[in-house]
Amino acid sequence: MSTPPILLAEHLRKRYTEGPQAVDVLKDVNLRLDGGQTLAIIGASGSGKSTLMHLLGGLDRADGGRVQVCGSDWAQMSPKAQGAWRNQHVGFVYQFHHLLMEFSALDNVAMPLRIRRTTAEAAHAVAAQMLQSMGLGARLQHRPGELSGGERQRVAIARALVTQPQLVLADEPTGNLDSEASAVALNLLLDVALAQGDAVIIVTHDATVAARCQRQLRLVNGALQDA
C-alpha cells in the first residue's frame, strides 16, 4: 500500500460574499506535495494566496473540493480533531511573528509541545535545541521585545518546526525583514525543514525567495499554473 502524500488538494474552491456580490477567490486548485519537496506560490495582492494557505492548513473550510494532510481530510474532522492534527502535522510561519510578548523565546518555542502535554522539562530541552539550530542559543531567556526583527522571526520559525511537522506553511515569512535578515531566516527555515523531511510551501511576492524552492507556481484567476 503506497504512502499518501503529505498534502493533497483536489478541485479546491472558495467563494466570499460581499453584500450582493459573490467573489470566487479559488476556482479549481489542485496540488500534491510529498516530504522533502519545497514549493513557492506567488501571485498578485488579493489573488487568494493567504486564503489558499488557510484552506491547506485547515484554518478555513472550502466551498468545494478537498484537502488531505498526511492522508486525513480536514472536512471529515471535528474542530477539536483538526486542532490536534495541526499540532501533530502542520507548522505555520507568518509575515508577523505572532509571538507571545510576555514569554521568553524558549517558552514561545516550547508552547506547541506543552499543548501536547509534554512535560515542561522535556519541551524546554527540545525548544532549546531548536533555538540553537536557529543561531539563538544565547537568546533563550530573551522576550520578543528584547530581540531584533530577524531574531523574532527566527523564534517564530523555531516554534513552527519544533514539533517536527510533516507540512510547513509559510505565508510571506520574510516579508517584514530587510534583505540580510530575510536571507538568514529563509536559509534556516529551509535547511531545518528539509533536514526533518518536511514538505514546505512558501507564499511570497519576492522572486528571490521563490527561486529558493524546487518548484514555483502562480495563483491566477483562482487556479495554480506554472510560474
The helix/strand/coil state of 53 is helix
Rounded to an integer, the average pLDDT of 117-142 is 91
Among 127, 94, 91, 86, which residue's Cα sits nearest to residue 109?
127
Helix axes 120-133, 105-115, angle to 10 degrees: 130
Q: Could you give the number of structural domains in the chain? A: 1
What is the predicted pLDDT for the residue at 55?
A: 94
Let me know if residue 52 belongs to a domain: yes
| Residue 30 pLDDT level (bands cut at 50, 70, 90) | very high
CA–CA separation, 153 and 196 (whole Å):
19
Residue 85 lies in domain: 7-226
Let me know if residue 2 belongs to a domain: no
CA–CA separation, 13 and 215 (whole Å):
22
63 CB neighbour count, 10 Å cutoff: 14
Let me know if residue 71 belongs to a domain: yes
Inform me whether the pLDDT recorded for 182 exceeds 70.
yes
Let me know if residue 191 belongs to a domain: yes
Q: What is the pLDDT of residues 66-113, one digit of tens each?
A: 999 998 999 999 999 999 898 889 998 887 778 889 999 999 999 999
Let me know if residue 118 belongs to a domain: yes
Rounded to an integer, the average pLDDT of 147-173 is 90
What is the CATH classification number for the domain harbouring 55?
3.40.50.300
Cell 453584500 belongs to: 19
What is the predicted pLDDT for the residue at 19?
A: 75
Rounded to an integer, the average pLDDT of 197-211 is 89
Inform me whether the pLDDT recorded for 1 exceeds 60.
no
| Residue 120 pLDDT level (bands cut at 50, 70, 90) | very high
Rounded to an integer, the average pLDDT of 182-209 is 87
- Nearest 5°: the CA angle 197, 198, 204 is 135
pTM of this prediction exceeds 0.75 = yes
Rounded to an integer, the average pLDDT of 167-185 is 84
Let me know if residue 179 belongs to a domain: yes
Let me know if residue 1 belongs to a domain: no
Inform me whether the pLDDT recorded for 21 exceeds 70.
yes
Question: Which DSSP helix (H) or strand (E) runs through 149?
Answer: helix 149-161
| Residue 191 pLDDT level (bands cut at 50, 70, 90) | confident
| Residue 176 pLDDT level (bands cut at 50, 70, 90) | confident
To the nearest 5 percent, what fractions of the chain are helix, strand and coil? 40, 25, 35
What is the predicted pLDDT for the residue at 174?
A: 80
Whether residue 61 contacts residue 16, with contact meaning beta carbons closer than 8 Å, is answered with no
Sign, Cα dihedral of 73, 77, 80, 84: negative
157 CB neighbour count, 10 Å cutoff: 28
- The set of cell numbers assigned to 152 is 523574532
What is the predicted pLDDT for the residue at 2?
A: 64
Q: How would you classify the pairing of strands 64-69 and 38-42? A: unpaired
Mean pLDDT score of the chain: 88
